[in-house]
Amino acid sequence: MSYLRKDVGSHKHLIKTSLFWWALLLPVLSGAILAGLIGWGSDLGQACISSRCVQNFVGHFKFPITIAGLSLPLVAMSAAIHRSMEAALQIDLASKQYGEAIKNNRFGNYLKHRESFEKVLDGFIAKHNVGGSTNVGLSTYRLYARLFPGSGYGRIQWAGEFDEVFWGKIEDSCKVMHTQMGQAEDGFNADKFIYAVSYLIGELEVDYVDFITIEYTSSASRPVRLHAPNKDDDFEAIAFAAFDLGEIIIAIRGFLGINEFDDLLGGYTIDAVSNALRTYRDRLEVTRYDQDDD
């Protein structure tokens, strides 16, 4: 009924609800009307208070009295219904507040998680650029979006999981790169090495403030381009980029809780890798940019 639906969505005192007044007045008014009709259509005689008169009154009016008396149990029922409505409203309100608290907590965790990720990598980049020999740039916000695509406000089910498929491809390319670095003096394959370096630079959103563009041509596939730090020696520039990638991957692994670093801490040297690349000098084309040019 409409008066029930109207009272469900709001907090009201029992006496202010339409249900209470319907339960109280409907039986009383119905009994009074029926009693009036009976009195109008019956010969009740003169008023008296003898037992016979009382029995006569009850005999005539017991049905209207019974109907009027229904107001008491109906009022009790309306009170019980009102309590159940209030309880349901409280439960619904508590559920909404709990849901909002969960969403706010999730959103707060997401912001802290993202802020921690950016602090870890920005801190690493800052230290690297102060003490290192290359000036690395890293788009942490784009990398975060790629590494944690399930994150964000409203993603209640997300609990910090990273994209294992995306990271698996990073690890595969990293393995190829470091395998070739370990074979710099014997069995080095520039195709595999440079393609792995190029892939990692692109996927990890790595760039350099002062860079050169290197185009490597392989007989097996189309040329590949990559940005490397601007060094006087082009082959040394590619080697430095590979070492930078290894350090960045170590930093990201630490954030992801992957405490495996031995595979990236081999006894490789810049000279060994750059010398291995020199044998492929005929496949490299380098473009240099003046920092003053936009």
pLDDT tens-digit series, residues 16-68: 778 778 877 787 888 888 878 877 777 666 667 777 777 777 777 777 788 88
Pair (63, 122) in one structural domain: no
Mark which of 77, 100, 123 sits at the end of a domain. Answer: 100
Number of domains into which the chain is organized: 2
Q: Is 204 inside any structural domain?
A: yes
Domain with 24 in it = 2-100
Mark which of 74, 100, 126 sits at the end of a domain. Answer: 100
Q: Is 248 inside any structural domain?
A: yes
Helices (H) and strands (E) counted in the chain, each on its own, are 9, 5
pLDDT at 54: 72
In the structure encoding, which two tokens stand for residue 182, read together?
């370990």
Report yes or no on whether pTM surpasses 0.75. Answer: no
Averaged over 68-88, what is the pLDDT? 80
- Average per-residue pLDDT for the chain: 80
Using CA of residue 198, residue 202, residue 206, residue 210, what is the dihedral sign? Answer: positive
Give the integer Cα–Cα distance in Å for 117 and 130: 20
Pair (27, 163) in one structural domain: no
pLDDT tens-digit series, residues 249-271: 989 998 998 877 766 656 678 88
Pair (65, 150) in one structural domain: no
pLDDT at 4: 47
Pair (120, 158) in one structural domain: yes
Pair (61, 167) in one structural domain: no
Averaged over 133-156, what is the pLDDT? 84
pLDDT tens-digit series, residues 274-293: 888 888 888 777 776 644 44
Give the integer Cα–Cα distance in Å for 227 and 236: 13
The single-letter code of the amino acid at 289 is: Y
Using CA of residue 141, residue 144, residue 149, residue 154, what is the dihedral sign? Answer: negative
Pair (93, 153) in one structural domain: no
pLDDT tens-digit series, residues 124-144: 888 878 766 678 888 888 999
pLDDT at 98: 74
pLDDT at 17: 78
Mark which of 66, 100, 134 sits at the end of a domain. Answer: 100
Q: Is 107 inside any structural domain?
A: no
